[in-house]
Structure 1
Amino acid sequence: MPLNSLPPWPPSLPSSAHLQHLQTLAVTHALAHGFTHLPANPSDPPTHATAAPLSLFPSPFPRHLFELATEIQTVYNALYARIALDWGFLDRVMGGVAKVDSFQGELWRGWKAVREELVQPLQLGIFRSDYLLHSLSSLAPLELKQVEFNTISSSFGALSQKASETHRYLAKETDMFFDSSPYLSTFDNYPLNDALTSIAQGLAEGWAAYGRKDAVVLFVVQDGERNVFDQWALQYELMERHGIKTVRHTFSELDNLVQFDRNSKRIYLPDPLADLVQPREVAVIYYRSAYTPTDYPGPGEWSTRLLLERSRAIKCPSMALQLAGAKKVQQVLTEPGVLEDFLLSPDRPDVGFGKGAGAFTQEDVDNIRKTWIGLWPMDNSEAGQEGYRLAMTQSSRFVLKPQREGGGNNIYRSDIPQELKRLEQQQHQQQQYGARDVMPREAYILMELITPPDGVGNWLVRGGDNKARKADVVSELGVFGVALFGPEGVVNREAGFLMRTKGRESDEGGVAIGISSIDSPVLVDVV
């Protein structure tokens, strides 16, 4: 019988002893299968790890909305591929942002400085489109609404696959788990998650397209990274399944290590274990950093980024594709006709991946648009003035988003008017020094808050804790996508999923910053 809302959750267990036993099984399985991260201030090399944050039960998610999210991922892949190839569009969008956001400005200006020199026509995208369930009342149907689209460092693919495997293990191992809810008692409700294998396959396809069998994949990583096992799992998969070697370096290390052949534009890195061995050519550069200003503490890191961008290696992502993931692009896409132009215009590059020019349909457009919530610019346009009025008079409905990734940067509800007033004071001070065309609030977009359904809870197990915490929760579904593209599409597919679950009291949702737990969906039928 279809439901008109999510079922009460989590399922009841007979006793606290049963809960403790279930937690022991879950954490033991997680530790045994690499569902781990490093503790704070780890040793080098590391000597121990802790289980990553995990939900004890999978969380209910409407089957038809899960299927919608996975089905439209290839359309989203093609959309953002076309954005990355449209230099004029990126210039129009980012030109205004660059005046008021130094990080995005540096990225955009750097890309403009090197883009005429680029020799590699292929780009590799490992994307993740993040969604929340939305319902304005208990009588309104549940909807799928996009939080953001990630084009760089789309993490937790490996750990999300392992979380799904842990929940399936608990269902197989324990009758109390399997029988605690009718939704848990059939494996048809547990969608298979191949995020680890699919993302690694995408990196392997980029490596194969480069065409040098002795080349390696470079992981560009952050100093002090705790989420290393999510990354190492990809590296192990590349070696064990595809026979591809990988190397890991930070920007600061690359500044001293990269060897650039100015004639061929190929880049090489020395073998860290054998000084006399021929340096290894890099086929694919996979960024698990480079998305936040702290990744560029000085000009050396920016110089290294531009050097890598000029190289023949396939970038994941290119600077253009990173710019395409800006929050401002997300907002501009909602303006009348913009999405239609990218998906329906016959003049767009054929990155439809088996769908020739014109093969995207109005249904594709409608399916994408139905996942969007209200978005407004914060400029001086008519829409921007309306956004400013809403932000000042109805702030409880909104979040103010800067052009940043990684969590912890947004401004919510009652804090918005105060922040806008601060930005106005900043604008006034800048105008006194002659900066007449600068409006600091243009660095932000205004987004209508998504309203997840009430009445859903779960048991959350923090890494290192010995007791699960029961909480009212909100779950965010992320769908991964892989795209290898240039003037024509080569690869385009959905690539597994990630579910992150957090306590309802928290606005932010990062696993890496200690707020969310990694989860998996159990599919339920709703109307």
Structure 2
Amino acid sequence: MYSDVQKDDLKRRNADMSRVKPVEEDYGKPLTPERLDEMIQRVTGWALLNGAQRKITATEFRERVEPVAITLFPSILPVDVLRKAKSLQTSFQTLIYKVANDHEFMKECFSGLLSADAFIKQLWDIYDTVRKEGPAQEVSVVITRNDFMMEYTEEGDIKQDCKHVEINTIAAGGGGRVSNMVDVHRYSLSLQDIPFEKEQLPDNKPVAGLAQGLVKAWQLYKCKCAVILFVVGIPEPNTPDQRWLESGILCIDGSIKVIYRTFPQLIKQMSLGKNRELIVDGAEVAVVYYRYGYEPKHYPTDAEFQLRLDMERSRAIKCPTVAIHLAGCKKIQQALAESGVLERFIQDTDRIKEIRSSFVGLYRLDTKDSSKVITQALQAPEKFVLKPQREGGGSNLFGDDLRNYLEEIKESPERSAWILMDRIQATRHRNRLIRAGLGSECRNVVSELGIFGFHISTPTSELENIECGYLIRTKPEEANEGGLCKGLSCLDTPFLV
């Protein structure tokens, strides 16, 4: 429930954002200019101490790190919004699981896309080859992050709702670095003598849950000498996040060995045993955990696609399988938003209603009826986002870029590779972003809420379906993309009201 003071404050911030006032006023504790530099220095140091780090890749020191971009204070968030987003996580994971095991639905969704998107066609061929051969491993595991943005339910009202952006089914990062971020913001509030209740800044340890998912998958493989393989990139800015996950695994079972390999290393070191065991440099692999392999540039030659096929053919448990990777594509997201489609996978009408309430408009571009929405997007591109079938951020088109590209492809088969999405009118607030090049001024910002979870299954049974924490990324309101790795947004935590 909101207090009268909180209601008045939220109304004021929503009604007048033309002049950005210091975020500290939200907490009733103005910050003097002479205090600001000291605050930034101390909070940044505390962030480093608590693992909010990114690896500096252009350096001779392989493990040199710097603070990841963070907010100086936690951002105010209604507790009901967080509660709803968390409650949706297991339903979305069940949905993705059922989609990935429904070949006819997948085939129908991708039928017009495969001729227009060479990368998705390659992944589909891997999926279809292994499906026809018969998988060597029935168990699969996926770590997901379900992303939402907050939007006011009515113009001028204070009530917010969460609107679905996407679900990430491969390389869903951030769970390690965010696991101690709440301590950073408890520290920043305490430095400024800003009072808070424990339930307003609750513990949030997604890395513990995500590690548990990988350990349970390793246990199901039933070979104590087998390792967990982290497939990583070159260069790899996400090393600190991955180290936190390895640490979580070792806290659960110190006997488990984690190895890290890149695609080029695996091409040289990997082989399949006589029973399709996945062998890397002499070690049998129980679980393949992909933090790489989701972008076309990760596959510069046919050798990388052959490697992915061989790993998919193996007995190792994949996180994720290619089927689940494909089920996370934007095309699937768009299809699920169509009338009557959720009912194919979920019988609970209340759950369907809850999931559907988080959707915004999603539109395919390759039907006879697409011309209407294409015209709308060309006339008002600021109301839409144009999305390809890609993960990792930086691929979506907005504004003039959207209009120009959509004009170019509107009569081309290439339009099948894209979907249009209503642009979420994200709730604006304010914060100080500690990020290179931004200075220390207070800014209008928007936040994206990501809910973590893991799911373990066979084709006929869900074995584990767990929600395990959250991530908030905050960026300037004018920024279109919001990736942490690309330095576009800042790590944040919610101050619950």
Length-normalised TM-score, structure 1: 0.87
Matched residue, 2:409: 423
Please say if 1:373 is aligned against 2:373.
Answer: no
Matched residue, 1:340: 343
Give unmatched runs, 5+ long, in structure 2: 14-21
Which deviations, in whole Å up to 9, do the C-alpha atoms of 1:467-515 show, x marking residues without a partner?
5342110010000111001111111110110100001111111111111
Determine if contact 1:406/1:510 at 8 Å carries over to the other structure: yes
Matched residue, 1:274: none
Which deviations, in whole Å up to 9, do the C-alpha atoms of 1:197-233 show, x marking residues without a partner?
1111111111111111111110001111112100111
Matched residue, 1:348: none
Matched residue, 2:16: none
Which of 502, 507, 514 is 2:475 aligned to?
A: 502
Give unmatched runs, 5+ long, in structure 1: 180-184, 271-278, 345-360, 428-438
Which of 57, 62, 68 is 1:52 aligned to?
A: 68
Please say if 1:447 is aligned against 2:421.
Answer: yes
Which of 274, 292, 305 is 2:308 aligned to?
A: 305
Please say if 1:269 is aligned against 2:280.
Answer: yes
Please say if 1:259 is aligned against 2:271.
Answer: yes
Matched residue, 1:284: 287
Matched residue, 2:45: 28
Instruction: State the 1:414 CA deviation.
Output: 3.2
Please say if 1:160 is aligned against 2:147.
Answer: no
Other structure's SS at 2:24 match: coil
Instruction: State the 1:40 CA deviation.
Output: 4.1
Please list, as runs of the form range in 1=range in 2, the aligned pairs for 1:112-261 lying within 5 A after superposition. Answer: 112-117=128-133, 118-135=135-152, 137-139=155-157, 141-171=159-189, 173-174=190-191, 176-179=192-195, 185-243=196-254, 244-261=256-273
Tell me how far apart the structure 2 counterparts of residues 265 and 409 of structure 1 sit (CA, whole Å).
36
Which deviations, in whole Å up to 9, do the C-alpha atoms of 1:270-312 show, x marking residues without a partner?
2xxxxxxxx2110000000111001101111000000000001
1:7–1:367 Cα change, 3 Å: farther
Instruction: Give aligned-pair identity as a percent.
Output: 33
Determine if contact 1:38/1:227 at 8 Å carries over to the other structure: yes
Tell me how far apart the structure 1 counterparts of residues 79 and 410 of structure 2 sit (CA, whole Å).
45
Tell me how far apart the structure 2 counterparts of residues 289 and 471 of structure 1 sit (CA, whole Å).
33
Q: RMSD value over aligned CA atoms?
A: 1.8
1:44–1:92 Cα change, 3 Å: farther
Please list, as runs of the form range in 1=range in 2, the aligned pairs for 1:332-411 lying within 5 A after superposition. Answer: 332-344=335-347, 361-382=348-369, 384-411=370-397
Length-normalised TM-score, structure 2: 0.92
Tell me how far apart the structure 2 counterparts of residues 204 and 17 of structure 1 sit (CA, whole Å).
49
Determine if contact 1:6/1:60 at 8 Å carries over to the other structure: no
Tell me how far apart the structure 2 counterparts of residues 305 and 258 of structure 1 sit (CA, whole Å).
11
Tell me how far apart the structure 1 counterparts of residues 312 and 61 of structure 2 sit (CA, whole Å).
30
Tell me how far apart the structure 2 counterparts of residues 374 and 111 of structure 1 sit (CA, whole Å).
29
Matched residue, 1:358: none
Other structure's SS at 1:492 match: strand
Matched residue, 1:468: 440
Determine if contact 2:180/2:205 at 8 Å carries over to the other structure: no
Tell me how far apart the structure 2 counterparts of residues 403 and 521 of structure 1 sit (CA, whole Å).
30
Other structure's SS at 1:489 match: strand
1:341–1:27 Cα change, 3 Å: same
Determine if contact 2:50/2:181 at 8 Å carries over to the other structure: no
